[in-house]
Structure 1
């Protein structure tokens, strides 16, 4: 079924097309994103309640596409209406304003871009956080710096640097590091060779073990 638009007003063409498609202005507004009050103005035949002409021409083009009516017929009927009623003008150049749908797409793209950047920041943050729980621990032993050393003092100050989130034990005794990862411990030596085991373990990662041999040789007192 087609609509004969010859000698019909804009209101008649619009309302007949709505009825033919079994639609109302509210449903058409949802389909076209045109405000309901503008569609109601078309339905009531009062162009004075419509926006500036460039907007109306854009709206009529969308309405024609959705209602499957001849676009030229709608535009011609509108031209006849504005000869009878003073209508709003958007300015001396009377140009069609920026497409609202394009603006929506730009805003949507901007939101998606910001969201993606936020997700990336979160992932980077989590990667740094998990790096403290996964992977291989490290330790730098400052004292004794070398292995197989001989000392004359029975107490030696063990020192080094680890990741502050890792767990350090020296000969199975836990040693707490400072916030910068530095640690120190006074260690009592027995006469002869002493095996000092440094064990560092990451929470969900691996562990490393370094053993230093320190020989305690008391000074000989001669008379």
Structure 2
């Protein structure tokens, strides 16, 4: 051990200054709580965790600050009364491994569930919207009424519009849209969209032919 430093806190604080580190930044680099680092800085070992944890902290700090962890651990063990955590004065080897394994298992389960959900909903998520026009059934259609209703069924889509006007879709997919016709051909664009961007369009033409109005010629009076 380098005897340039009389105690560990002197070494600790000097190494921080040399590297331009703050306790907060060192906490981020070492994943050690700032409270424990501050206790190391002041030599307040009475408020530190049991000895195995202190030894583990030294092992994490050594490559960052540049000191011999084993030598300084032996020095601390001689000079300070450190609390033990059990019969063996070693950091439990499997504690972090168990945590990592648990995180891995949880992450794997989440991935599997997400994959299963996507597989079950693949057609809905990635499939194309489906529009079925039930009335009028023919295309083009012909009518003598100026008012008519376009009806149909929608599946695998989130929104529906007719000529740019939003149409409410009932539970089960049924929908209808009342329209007013002009004499002659009338074109209607039915568009279905999904939130993920897929869309589908259908065009229907309805020809409106008004009923001819007949005129009655008055009869000439009899002579």
- Give yes or no for contact 1:5–1:13 (8 Å, CA) kept in 2: no
8 Å contact 1:10–1:81 — kept in the other structure?
no
TM-score, structure 2 length as denominator? 0.52
* 1:122 matched to 2:120: no
Q: Whole-Å Cα distance in 2 between the matches of residues 20 and 130 of structure 1?
A: 56
- Shift in alpha-carbon separation, 1:166–1:20, aligned structure 2, 3 A: same
1:22-37 matched pairs, under 5 angstroms: 22-37=20-35
Correspondence list, 1:6-85, <5 A:
6=4, 8-82=6-80, 85=81
Could you tell me how far apart the structure 1 residues matched to 2:10 and 2:123 are? 67
Asked whether the equivalents of residues 51 and 88 of structure 1 are also in contact (C-alpha less than 8 Å), the reply is: yes
SS in 2 for 1:112: helix
Task: State the SS of the aligned residue for 1:62.
Answer: helix
**What's 1:91 paired with?**
86
Write the deviation string for residues 177-208 of structure 1: whole angstroms up to 9, x where unpaired: xxxxxxxxxxxxxxxxxxxxxxxxxx97xxxx
Residue 57 of structure 1: how far off its partner (Å): 0.6
Count of matched residue positions in the alignment of Structure 1 and Structure 2: 150
User: Aligned pair 1:110/2:108, yes or no?
Assistant: no
Contact kept, 8 Å, 2:5 with 2:11, in 1: the verdict is no
For the structure 1 residues 100 and 14, does the alpha-carbon distance in structure 2 shift closer, same or farther, using more than 3 Å as the test?
Answer: farther
Deviation, structure 1 residue 73: 3.2
For residues 48 and 34 of structure 2, what CA distance do their matches in structure 1 show?
Answer: 11
Deviation at 1:5, TM superposition (A): 3.4
The question of whether the paired residues in 2 share the 8 Å contact of 1:11 and 1:42 is answered with yes
Is this contact kept in 1: 2:36–2:48, CA < 8 A? yes
Could you tell me how far apart the structure 2 residues matched to 1:14 and 1:131 are? Answer: 58
Unmatched 5+ stretches in structure 2: 139-151, 153-198, 201-223
- In the superposition, relative to structure 1, how do residues 10 and 55 fare at CA in structure 2: closer, same or farther (>3 Å)? same
State the SS of the aligned residue for 2:121.
helix
Mean CA deviation greater in 26-35 or 110-119:
110-119
Q: Assess if the C-alpha contact under 8 Å between 2:51 and 2:83 holds in 1.
A: yes
SS for the counterpart of 1:43 is: helix
How far apart are the structure 2 equivalents of 1:131 and 1:7? Answer: 66
CA RMSD of aligned residues (A): 3.9
How far is 1:112 from its partner? 2.7
